[in-house]
Amino acid sequence: MLLLARQILKAGVCTEKAPEPNDAWHVGGERVQGEILRLLGRALTIRQVDAGSCNGCELEIHALNNPYYNLEGRGVRFVASPRHADMLLVTGPVAANMKIAVQRAYEATPDPKLVVAVGDCGCSGGIFGEGYASCGRVSNVIPVDVAVPGCPPPPLEILRGILSAVAVKRP
């Protein structure tokens, strides 16, 4: 227990202390945090849906919850059901075997809802393209508000995408 407490103290709060002060992320991150507070003033809940990705995008979405990006500390939370979600964060080309599940998740999400497609595959089908087993880009299957390119996009870009979608839908 003593070790644990000591480790917590030693690690400190890295959310406010990025390793390199000139790091472009750090500056951006702070701005993004302000934007979320300004635009939302409340929590945003996200249901992540892997529609067929290689899992690379999921790794970077996971990273949003690490202490550096501290997404949850900034009022954005991942939830277990689309029924609890304001936004779907969809990765991958939509695999044909996932098409029905993706449509159902979309239908289950209460209005008004936002959809952010993450990664080159979500934007265009990416390297997997379209074919017998791939429906290609997410917008081929459900309406998409914002598409974030990158293979995979780094966490900050995903965060920007989430924010852009929120900003678009605000009157």
Partner 1 sequence: MRMADAGLDYRPLAGALPAAVCVVDEAQWSAAAEGFAIAGARLVALWGSDRRDLGEGLVVFAAYAAVDGLACVRLRVAGDPPSYPDVSSRFPAASRMQRALADLLGIRALGAEDERPWLRHGAWPDEFLPLRRDADGTRRFDVEQERYEFVTVAGDGVHEIPVGPIHAGIIEPGHFRFSIVGEKVLRLEQRLGYVHKGIDKRFEGMAIGDAHRLAGRVSGDSTVAFAWAYAMAAESITGCEIPPRAAWLRALLLERERVANHLGDLGALGNDAALAFGLAQFSRLREQWLRANGEILGHRLLMDRVVPGGVAVDPDGGALDRLRRQYDDIEAEVRTLRAIYDEHAGLQDRFQTTGVVKPELAAQLGLTGLAGRASGQAGDLRVDLPCPPYDRLAVKRAGDTRGDVAARVALRFDEMLESLRLLREITKQLPAGDTRRSLQSAAEGFGVGWVEGWRGDVLVALEADGSGLVRRCHCHDPSWQNWPVLEHAVIGNIVPDFPLINKSFNLSYSGQDL
The residue ranges that bind partner 1 (CB under 8 A) are 3-4, 7-8, 11, 14, 19, 48-63, 65-68, 78, 80-82, 92-93, 95-101, 105, 127-135, 151-152, 154
CB of 159 to partner 1, least distance (A): 14
Q: For residues 95 and 102, what is the distance between their CA atoms, to the nearest angstrom?
A: 10
Nearest distance from C-beta of residue 54 to partner 1, angstroms: 4
By beta-carbon proximity to partner 1, the closer residue of 55 and 168 is 55
Q: At 75, list the tokens.
A: 């009022």
Q: In terms of CB distance, is 14 or 167 closer to partner 1?
A: 14
Spatial neighbors of 17 by CB under 8 A, at least 6 apart, are: none
The whole-angstrom separation of Cα 102 and Cα 121 is 15
Q: 117 in helix, strand or coil?
A: strand
> Between 49 and 146, whose beta carbon lies closer to partner 1?
49
Six-digit token pair at 90? 């969809």
Looking at the Cβ atoms of 97 and 167, the one nearer to partner 1 is 97
Q: How far is the CB of 131 from partner 1 (least distance, A)?
A: 5
Q: How many helices (H) and strands (E) does the chain have?
A: 6, 5
